[in-house]
Amino acid sequence: MKFGILVNEGPYQHQASDSAYLFCKAALAKGHEIHRVFFYHDGVNNSTRLTEPPQDDRNIVSRWTKLAEAHGVDLVVCVAAALRRGIREENLAPGFRISGLGQLVESGIEADRLVVFGD
């Protein structure tokens, strides 16, 4: 099965990002495909390389980067939501790219299921 993923919440304010990441890992381990992960609203905060969590905390941004590198997952950040939060192309962590809502629409069309994490 091919999944599209939508993450609407930031990495440390809500469990949505952790849940989305764990869902993607589990789906890939079972042989499913992740068509794209689209970060929208506060979810765009998952993409910034400026995040520096304490050493004893999980690095959610790094997790997404490693997932993209290991499995070729397309990590797309909504341009409008990112700019509203001060996130620009040069601030993105490796593996992320900025694009528009058309990428979310395409993911909903191309994937068998679009799974939404967060409000």
User: Residues 22-76: pLDDT tens digits?
Assistant: 999 999 999 999 999 999 999 999 999 998 888 888 999 999 999 999 999 999 9
Containing domain of residue 56, as a range?
A: 8-110
pTM of the model: 0.96
Sorted by sequence, the CB contacts under 8 Å of residue 96 that are 6+ apart come out as 39, 47, 64, 65, 68, 75, 76, 77
Q: What pLDDT shows up at residue 53?
A: 87
Number of domains in the chain: 1
**Residue 1 maps to a domain:** no
CB 96, CB 61: distance < 8 Å: no
Domain containing residue 68: CATH number: 3.40.1260.10
**Residue 118 maps to a domain:** no
Catalytic residues: 78
